[in-house]
Structure 1
Amino acid sequence: MDHEYIERPDRLIALVDELRGEPLLGVDTEAAGYHRYFDKLSLLQLSSRTRNYLVDPFSVGELAPLGELFADPGIEKIFHDADYDVRILDRDAGLHISGLFDTQIAAAFLGERQLGLGNIAEKYLGLKLPKEFQRADWAERPLSAGMMEYAATDTAHLPALRDRLKQELEAKGRMHWAEEEFLRREQTRWTESEDGREAYMRTKGARDLAPRGLAILRELHEWREGVARERDQATFRILGNQALLEMSASPPADVRDLPRVTGLSEGMAQRRGREIMAAVKRGLAVPEEELPRWPRSQRWERDLELEARVESLKDARTRVAEQLGLDPGFLISRATLEEIGKAQPKTPEELEAVPGVRRWQVEAAGEALLKAARRK
């Protein structure tokens, strides 16, 4: 796939001038989170209908010159599954998008269930896209020829894919539905996790641990974070969660026990065994009264009438989804159905005012939902 590699600030500025008159651009990003502790925007791909560009943010420095293009609603920016791209462009480059077209959203409105770019491109363009560099370390330099080829291919076909999907959406009268979701996606911004728990408590399986095990997990998790930060490696590449959970549930007595832990090699035991055992011992030394504990879950009284309304709403959603050929969860989520059940709207205007409800959902399923919401 022919492409130009942009690594000079002056060339980036000139590129903006060249692309100013383009009606649309395919856009994608590559980041380093799979391999690195410090996830960061590592490559930006742009494609017009005729040219492909790879922008190296490490070399060009500020990506601010692209702000004009990205903010211009007259230049359509085509992504596939734009959510993370929009977030990382906001976080790392301060770039915001106007004029977004998301081929994944478009495909979902056409009833597709397999929404990966490869699946959609094969069905609508007859293309098989390469996959071998999906897990590549995009922060490495220099990028290999194969990595650059793969990256350019990711955006090169987006303009043609957009054309096919848009044609299908217009034929079904659903283009304005998709445009509503595109506008919402444009407003996506980077936000940190705010679930109120410390990071170690978000480890899958942590809830099964006793308080003492949680204390050990907390120390092991903190140790792993420090090593990963120091080496700029993804945490699972230092030591997997299963190993942390095993040691938390059944603490090893000394370094000699470590190679028996799932995923903890003898080499790791030799290199880091003393540090790991020190973390385990810190967890074992926490006084009983200071052990971490899961907060007690709030007890909710069952509302049988509400449950009945939500079940009725689910049935209505399923019927409409089948008629439209859409995935029921895409048509409207369970959480939104619960909000509708609580609000019991009586008019389309009241339905649209329910948190999470879109205008297109009112148009597509409003009559059926309003009837179901009136159930007593």
Structure 2
Amino acid sequence: MVDHHVIDTRDAYLAATAAISAGTGPIGIDAERASGFTYSQRAYLIQMYRRGAGTFLFDPPAIGDFSELNAAIAGDEWIFHAASQDLACLREVGLDPHIIFDTELAARLLGLPRVGLGTVVEELLGIHLAKEHSAANWSTRPLPESWLVYGALDVELLPDLRDRMVEMLATDEKTQIAAQEFQATLDHEPKPVSAEPWRRLSGVHSIRSQRNLAVARSLWLARDDLARHLDVSPGRLVPDASLVAAARVLPASRQALAELREFSGRASRSELDRWWTAIQDGIRATDLPSLRGTGDALPPPRAWSDRNPEADLRYKAARLALGQISEAFAIPIENLVTPDFVRRIAWTPPEPIDVESVSEALVALGARDWQIELTAQQITDAFVEANQTIAVSVEVDS
């Protein structure tokens, strides 16, 4: 019988640390956040399971620092499902593995049609795993018993799932590919903080005036400040669509803002002074934002045929070649090589275009050895063929 007691005291945490350390084999681990409810991405429940030790449910806000547990098990293999989603919040409390096995990544590399934990468990282990609490507000206290059962099941099946996948990866000769992908997940550096995070505002690209854009920026910053202070997800205060609507209309008065039907949300009226001040600040701003933004983002591929037809031909040829490799190896094309990498070298190809230069470009972008081995030659051939098509077209036109 699983003990669904939440560990929230120092003594209980230290006892659990000793028990987990004494267990055997890899450790199944998961973390639950409150995405969509809170501003922070901290963990509100951490679940661990190890054979010979059992299941442990930790309350991170109550425990705080997990350095003793990390010292005891950091060198052991930790099993995740989609590790990239959990590593940041685990590292925040001092849990930082050296070796991982990612069942979600393994499912992708094995070519499974769907890679959600419930689907993979059912397909490979024949066990139905309900996922009804995946989007719950895990900052809730006390946590309902049904949520704890759900959290425990998320980790108790991971060792068996991992063992089955190890066999399948070996059969498909993908063991080393998986190892490189797991290490890349561990080594992945978080994206640097954007200089203009407000440009993530959904719908902001429809704003065509710098002045209106300045108001959208001001409203986003005001909402972000309040959300951080309250630890509430920004969209739960005022939705993105409401901020964009106000920035488009530029209401002439506080009352006009209050009467704007599209300006909704639970804090749209209670914090009306805050939003009106933000609109005025945006209208008075002298540092008007660029309509195009900053950074090195490429245009969307759908616009390439007009803006850079040569790059468009290279990209389409490369995508076709990569699709054939994807099918042959039963690996999704987005895992075969990061799509952004292909777009970047298609937009600005290396000179001269050969396997060595394409390989170097992929290395510089962060591609793994196995990805380069499988794709560099095919991307090169696709680029050369596209360039020949371009040259023929130029000759005919001239």
**TM-score category by the smaller chain?**
0.7 to 0.9
Query: 3-state SS of the aligned residue for 2:139?
Result: coil
Quick one: which amino acid aligns to residue 249 of structure 2? S
Task: Name the residue aligned to 2:217.
Answer: 218
Quick one: which amino acid aligns to residue 331 of structure 1? L
Q: Following TM superposition, by how much is the alpha carbon of 1:360 offset from its aligned partner in structure 2, in angstroms?
A: 1.7
Query: 3-state SS of the aligned residue for 2:15?
Result: helix
Is 1:71 aligned with 2:74?
yes
Separation in 2 of the partners of 1:278 and 1:306? Answer: 46
Separation in 2 of the partners of 1:67 and 1:181? Answer: 23
The aligned runs of 1:165-204 (5 Å cut-off) are 165-194=165-194, 196-197=195-196, 199-204=197-202
**Relative to structure 1, is the Cα distance of residues 46 and 296 closer, same or farther in structure 2, using a 3 angstrom cutoff?**
closer
The aligned runs of 1:234-313 (5 Å cut-off) are 234-252=233-251, 253-255=253-255, 258-262=258-262, 264=264, 268=267, 270-284=269-283, 286=284, 289-295=286-292, 308-313=313-318
Alignment deviations for residues 132-184 of structure 1 (CA, whole Å, 9 cap, x no partner): 22222222222111221111111111111112222211111111110111111
Equivalent residues of 2:30, 2:46 under 8 A apart:
yes
Q: Following TM superposition, by how much is the alpha carbon of 1:200 offset from its aligned partner in structure 2, in angstroms?
A: 2.3
Equivalent residues of 1:206, 1:245 under 8 A apart:
yes
Quick one: which amino acid aligns to residue 328 of structure 1? I
Equivalent residues of 1:347, 1:370 under 8 A apart:
no
Task: Name the residue aligned to 1:86.
Answer: 87
Which residue of 333, 336, 343 maps to 2:341?
A: 336
Separation in 1 of the partners of 2:272 and 2:144? Answer: 36
Query: 3-state SS of the aligned residue for 1:218?
Result: helix
Aligned residues: 368
Query: 3-state SS of the aligned residue for 1:53?
Result: strand
Moved more, 143-152 or 233-242: 143-152
Separation in 1 of the partners of 2:124 and 2:223? Answer: 45
Task: Name the residue aligned to 1:358.
Answer: 368
Separation in 1 of the partners of 2:350 and 2:113? Answer: 30
Equivalent residues of 1:67, 1:96 under 8 A apart:
yes
The aligned runs of 1:118-133 (5 Å cut-off) are 118-133=118-133
Which residue of 25, 28, 49 maps to 2:27?
A: 25
Q: Following TM superposition, by how much is the alpha carbon of 1:371 offset from its aligned partner in structure 2, in angstroms?
A: 3.9
Separation in 2 of the partners of 1:312 and 1:257? Answer: 51
Task: Name the residue aligned to 1:327.
Answer: 332
Separation in 2 of the partners of 1:235 and 1:144? Answer: 26
Separation in 1 of the partners of 2:308 and 2:350? Answer: 10
Q: Following TM superposition, by how much is the alpha carbon of 1:110 offset from its aligned partner in structure 2, in angstroms?
A: 0.9
Separation in 2 of the partners of 1:254 and 1:349? Answer: 57
Alignment deviations for residues 96-155 of structure 1 (CA, whole Å, 9 cap, x no partner): 211200001100111124222122222222233222222222222221112211111111
**Relative to structure 1, is the Cα distance of residues 249 and 62 closer, same or farther in structure 2, using a 3 angstrom cutoff?**
same
Equivalent residues of 1:246, 1:261 under 8 A apart:
no
Is 1:61 aligned with 2:64?
yes
Which residue of 318, 325, 336 maps to 2:323?
A: 318
The aligned runs of 1:42-53 (5 Å cut-off) are 42-49=44-51, 51-53=54-56
Task: Name the residue aligned to 2:156.
Answer: 156
Alignment TM-score, normalising by the size of structure 2:
0.81
Task: Name the residue aligned to 2:393.
Answer: none
Q: Following TM superposition, by how much is the alpha carbon of 1:79 offset from its aligned partner in structure 2, in angstroms?
A: 0.2
Task: Name the residue aligned to 2:138.
Answer: 138
Moved more, 289-298 or 202-211: 289-298
Equivalent residues of 1:102, 1:182 under 8 A apart:
yes
The unaligned stretches of length 5 or more in structure 1 are none
**Relative to structure 1, is the Cα distance of residues 193 and 119 closer, same or farther in structure 2, using a 3 angstrom cutoff?**
farther
RMSD: 3.1
Separation in 2 of the partners of 1:183 and 1:46? Answer: 21
Query: 3-state SS of the aligned residue for 1:160?
Result: helix
Separation in 1 of the partners of 2:190 and 2:359? Answer: 31
Equivalent residues of 1:259, 1:269 under 8 A apart:
no
Q: Following TM superposition, by how much is the alpha carbon of 1:353 offset from its aligned partner in structure 2, in angstroms?
A: 4.4
Quick one: which amino acid aligns to residue 350 of structure 2? K
Task: Name the residue aligned to 1:14.
Answer: 15
Equivalent residues of 2:38, 2:233 under 8 A apart:
yes
Quick one: which amino acid aligns to residue 207 of structure 1? H
Equivalent residues of 1:258, 1:264 under 8 A apart:
no
Quick one: which amino acid aligns to residue 42 of structure 2? K
**Relative to structure 1, is the Cα distance of residues 170 and 264 closer, same or farther in structure 2, using a 3 angstrom cutoff?**
same
Separation in 1 of the partners of 2:60 and 2:268? Answer: 38
Alignment deviations for residues 296-345 of structure 1 (CA, whole Å, 9 cap, x no partner): 78999977666544443322211111112222222123333343852634
Quick one: which amino acid aligns to residue 342 of structure 1? P
Separation in 2 of the partners of 1:350 and 1:256? Answer: 58
Q: Following TM superposition, by how much is the alpha carbon of 1:236 offset from its aligned partner in structure 2, in angstroms?
A: 0.8
Quick one: which amino acid aligns to residue 10 of structure 1? D
Quick one: which amino acid aligns to residue 236 of structure 2? R
**Relative to structure 1, is the Cα distance of residues 312 and 18 closer, same or farther in structure 2, using a 3 angstrom cutoff?**
same
Separation in 2 of the partners of 1:54 and 1:115? Answer: 25
Q: Following TM superposition, by how much is the alpha carbon of 1:246 offset from its aligned partner in structure 2, in angstroms?
A: 0.5
**Relative to structure 1, is the Cα distance of residues 147 and 263 closer, same or farther in structure 2, using a 3 angstrom cutoff?**
farther
Q: Following TM superposition, by how much is the alpha carbon of 1:26 offset from its aligned partner in structure 2, in angstroms?
A: 0.5
**Relative to structure 1, is the Cα distance of residues 82 and 308 closer, same or farther in structure 2, using a 3 angstrom cutoff?**
same
The aligned runs of 1:33-48 (5 Å cut-off) are 33-48=35-50
Quick one: which amino acid aligns to residue 36 of structure 2? Y
Separation in 2 of the partners of 1:216 and 1:19? Answer: 53
* Percentage of matched positions with identical amino acids: 25
**Relative to structure 1, is the Cα distance of residues 257 and 99 closer, same or farther in structure 2, using a 3 angstrom cutoff?**
closer
